[in-house]
Structure 1
Amino acid sequence: MKAFSTPRKSLGDLDADAAAALISAAADIALILDERGIIRDVAFSNAELSREFASHGNWLGQPWIDTVAKDSRPKVEEITRRGAATDAGRWRHVNQVAGDGASVPILYSAAPVGKAGRIVVFGRDLRPVSRLQQRLVEVQQSMERDYSRLRQAETRYRLLFQMSPDPVLVLDGTTLRVTEANPAALRLFGKNDRRAVGRTIGEAFAAESRSGVQALLASVRAAGRADDVQARLAEGGSDVTVSASTFRQEGTLLFLVRIALPDQAVVSLPPVKTKMLKLIEGAPDAFVVAGSDGRVITANAAFLEMIEVPGEDQARGEPLERWLGNQDVEAEVLFGHLRNRGTVRLYSSVLRGEHGARTEVEISAVTVMNGGKPVFGFTMRDVGPRVRAPVPTGARPTRSVEQLTELIGRVPLKDLVREATDAIERLCIEAALELSGDNRASAAEMLGLSRQSLYVKLRRYGLGDLGAEPGEQL
């Protein structure tokens, strides 16, 4: 430790009050001990710390060692012994006993003062540091748990990728070269299957099919989706179905290409079913199918337009509640009705678009079983353009009891209470006006309101002629 070089010159003549102020400001807690380690005075830098040690007045005249926890007494003896020496002792962690008996961690150091063997003990409250350290440990543990989950997820998907019977390729979005391929895909490249990584996707297909595969990838890159294409493999000449989608990793665009072999081809639908699917895809009303977990399986173009996403791939696999309803609980209520009753008709709600658009819709839904699991189909009709009853300018519309009942589960309770209060207040004003023969002065007296307050509420609810009566001042 390096002391001041010219303390008498730089500090001047300090009296006892100035020295006490400096000591109090230099530490969270300061103790003055005599040569026997008895506390002669104590100071705190803030009121909060003083309240923690509410009984510090009883410390005066007691040995400092008696005010700390038993495990800290050897440290107090060392601090006192070193503090009495000419060189200040090092900082030690001491558990100081508070007024309620709790141990408060304090970092102490001591230094001699004056010529009467007095010692000044400086203390720093370690609780903020302890809380910060605890928070750091919690964050570190949380990160380790997240890393563990990511590693487990990566292992599961890597295992699924390797064991899939379908040939699956990952391509670089710029060069269209293979960056990863599962064992089923490696066999597409013939005898040199182990050298598939780094080769272009076109080498896996016959010459006449390469342009079609390249057009598929270009459409997927531009629009986010594209119809599957038929192609012929270079090895064996088998006809296959190729589908593709895009994803980003570390800022790089990649293609995920799946190749359906002939024995994995999907059985074609009857012509009537095919036409029905085409009608649903082109219908002006939104249509969406969600699984038992509430995630989108498929959707038509009208639904994609309402939620403002460019393609079905951006919606597939996402929870429907991401776009449905004003409140998160609204989707849960809708799915609960479907699970319990099987159908829902004319359910009023809102679809929220990715870019802020809001579409008022009426929803009808049905539950069907598929492979032993429920699947939910929704039709959503845009009812925004429908003509509504005009509301006077400046008036605040109120809801009926039936409308308030429909809001349960869709809006917070405080909003329901406010809506109910407005409905009751409007009914009372209408009744008073009817009983008084539309005499506003009498109606205001019946309601216990001033005429000015009544006029404010009339404007608020759009009741009656809002012009001022003769002799009345609004």
Structure 2
Amino acid sequence: MPARRRNTPSASSSCGSGKPDSERTVASAQPSNVFNDPLRSLGNLDAASVAQLLSVAADVAIVVEADGTISDVAFGSEELASEGLDNWIGKLWTATVTIESRPKIEAMLTDPGGAVGVRWRQVTHPGESGNQVAVEYSVVRIGDSDRVLAVGRDLRSLASIQQRLVAAQQSMERDYSRLRNAETRYRLMFQMSTEAVLIVDAGSRKIVEANPASGRLLYTAPEKLLGKRFPSTFDDAGNNDIDELLSTVRAVGRGNDVRAQLADGNGELLVSASLFRQRESAHFLIQLTALDSDSKPIPPGKSNLLDVVERLPDAFVVTDMEGRIITCNRAFLDMAELAMEQQVKGELLDRWLGRPGIDMGVLLNTLQQDQSVQLFSTTIQGDFGSRTDIEVSAVAVPDGKHPCIGLTIRNVARRLTQHDAEPKLPRSVDQLTELVGRVPLKELVREATDVIERLSIEAALELTGDNRASAAEMLGLSRQSLYVKLHRYGLADTSSDD
């Protein structure tokens, strides 16, 4: 091989130097891709040993004649052999690759091992299964002959890793794009909102975000609010009330809105707060609402009424005229199996009340006509699947400043007795109708059949003067069957055999 001839010391140089051969070899500058002394390091390897080394070190080794024909091939990778690439012997090397790869093969055959040193070139072989197999080759001339040896590496595992990397990168870019779009929408809504909003760090109580509407209410540019402690723009009483509100919200998740006077006397604001988590830190969402200058504080009596409603054991809900929840008390949150009032605000009451699209529609239609509803029987279903029998009384206030509907919801499950585990049979069609929506249709049909059967037996007994034999004949039953049904419906004591 050229490398072997290039690295072997000549006789003249050996005679002219007093240093041992090994020292001269180390001292001479050698390329990093060849052995310093291949003859000494590898010895006189025979052809079989070289072939074995090549099959272990390379995924494929090809011997190519001077005319470009493959005369021998060895696969170190079973995967390559399984792709139908083991039938190359006798074919032109350029015929085993795709059209795009042929110029690379011709370049390697023209200058094997070349003047510029050993180079690796990637070519593509068409596989037997229709897929393409990427292999990276380097060629060296075999001794003084015109044959060359091409050593190849299978790049499919590397290509698979590259494809997964590209797919992961594209997925990250899509996720980043979605996050960026969501943040853009949030920023736009935050800036354009007419409602004054502050984001306050729950630990330091410093304002981290403020929209323009909050700056207008607080008479301060939004950028100047950032980093300030909240509350700091209200009078002492207002600051104390807001501090207490924030402490309560952080402890229990909710608190009553407070009224606070600005320190410079520029007005009074209604302050509400809710808690949310972002990454590993907690933040307050502060909403500020300007109060009319002529608005008056809630009288003590009305304030007491609000406190009573909040603590009622029965649920109380206020909705708009379309049934969207405006506010509710603690009892309703318990029935709906929720923790915070913010989780229900703006939601349709129909989400929890009765049969979706039916019961709430009946209530709203009745309220439009009569303005009030009393003892409307239905059910309420919590977010975790519990279902409770309830009675609803409601009143509509369509002519108020803000039209709304008020509903009281009473849990009637506590009225059930032990006998309710086996409910008595309905005695009329009206009672049967009340079961619609509460029990499955299959059970409802069975109940209806029993009602009809019992009514028919009662009618037969009445027509025959409570004579069982005549009633059985009238109904087309045997006397024994009639007796069984009489006991089933509790009619055995009301009839006679004669």
Q: Do Structure 1 and Structure 2 share a fold, with TM-score over 0.5? A: yes
Tell whether 2:203 aligns with 1:161.
no
Alignment CA distance shift 1:192-1:129 (3 Å): closer
1:44 to 69, 72, 75: 75
Q: For the Cα contact (< 8 Å) 1:29–1:42, is it kept in 2? A: yes
Alignment CA distance shift 1:317-1:102 (3 Å): farther
Structure 1 range deviating more: 169-178 or 193-202: 193-202
Identity of aligned residues (%): 36
Partner of 2:462: none
Q: CA deviation at 1:260?
A: 1.6
Alignment CA distance shift 1:103-1:178 (3 Å): closer
Partner of 1:338: 356
Q: For the Cα contact (< 8 Å) 1:241–1:259, is it kept in 2? A: yes
The CA deviation string for residues 349-405 of structure 1, in whole angstroms up to 9 with x for no partner, is 9976xxxxxx86568999x9xxxxxxxx9999999xx99x9xxxxxxxxxxxx99x9
The alignment's C-alpha RMSD in Å is 5.2
Alignment CA distance shift 1:114-1:48 (3 Å): same
Q: Distance in 2 between matches of 1:113 and 1:319?
A: 82
TM-score in terms of structure 2 length: 0.56
Tell whether 2:132 aligns with 1:103.
yes
The CA deviation string for residues 133-191 of structure 1, in whole angstroms up to 9 with x for no partner, is 23322322222222222222222222222222222122233332333222221134447
Q: Which runs of 5+ in 1 are unaligned?
A: 321-330, 353-358, 369-376, 390-401, 407-474
Q: Secondary structure at the match of 2:231?
A: helix
Partner of 1:35: 66
Q: For the Cα contact (< 8 Å) 2:336–2:381, is it kept in 1? A: no
Q: For the Cα contact (< 8 Å) 2:335–2:380, is it kept in 1? A: no
Tell whether 2:111 aligns with 1:82.
yes
Q: CA deviation at 1:211?
A: 0.6
Partner of 1:356: none
Partner of 1:230: 259
Partner of 1:175: 204
Q: Distance in 2 between matches of 1:190 and 1:43?
A: 84
Q: CA deviation at 1:276?
A: 11
Partner of 1:128: 157
Partner of 1:137: 166
Q: Distance in 2 between matches of 1:350 and 1:108?
A: 68
Q: Find the structure with the greater CA-based Rg.
A: 2
Q: CA deviation at 1:252?
A: 3.7
Amino acid at match of 2:290: L
Alignment CA distance shift 1:88-1:38 (3 Å): farther
Tell whether 2:98 aligns with 1:69.
yes
Q: Distance in 2 between matches of 1:304 and 1:17?
A: 84
Amino acid at match of 1:165: T
Q: Secondary structure at the match of 1:243?
A: strand
Q: Secondary structure at the match of 1:60?
A: coil
Q: For the Cα contact (< 8 Å) 1:79–1:89, is it kept in 2? A: no
Amino acid at match of 1:338: P
1:113 to 126, 132, 142: 142
Q: Secondary structure at the match of 2:112?
A: helix
Q: Secondary structure at the match of 1:162?
A: helix
Alignment CA distance shift 1:181-1:341 (3 Å): closer
Alignment CA distance shift 1:305-1:339 (3 Å): closer
Q: Distance in 2 between matches of 1:338 and 1:108?
A: 69
TM-score in terms of structure 1 length: 0.59
Partner of 2:181: 152
The CA deviation string for residues 421-441 of structure 1, in whole angstroms up to 9 with x for no partner, is xxxxxxxxxxxxxxxxxxxxx
Q: CA deviation at 1:242?
A: 0.8
Structure 1 range deviating more: 116-125 or 275-284: 275-284
Q: Secondary structure at the match of 1:32?
A: strand
Q: How does 1:223-302 map to 2 (within 5 A)?
A: 223-249=252-278, 251-262=280-291, 283=313
Tell whether 2:41 aligns with 1:10.
yes
Q: CA deviation at 1:75?
A: 0.4
Q: For the Cα contact (< 8 Å) 1:32–1:120, is it kept in 2? A: yes
Q: For the Cα contact (< 8 Å) 1:65–1:77, is it kept in 2? A: yes
Q: Distance in 1 between matches of 2:391 and 2:44?
A: 88
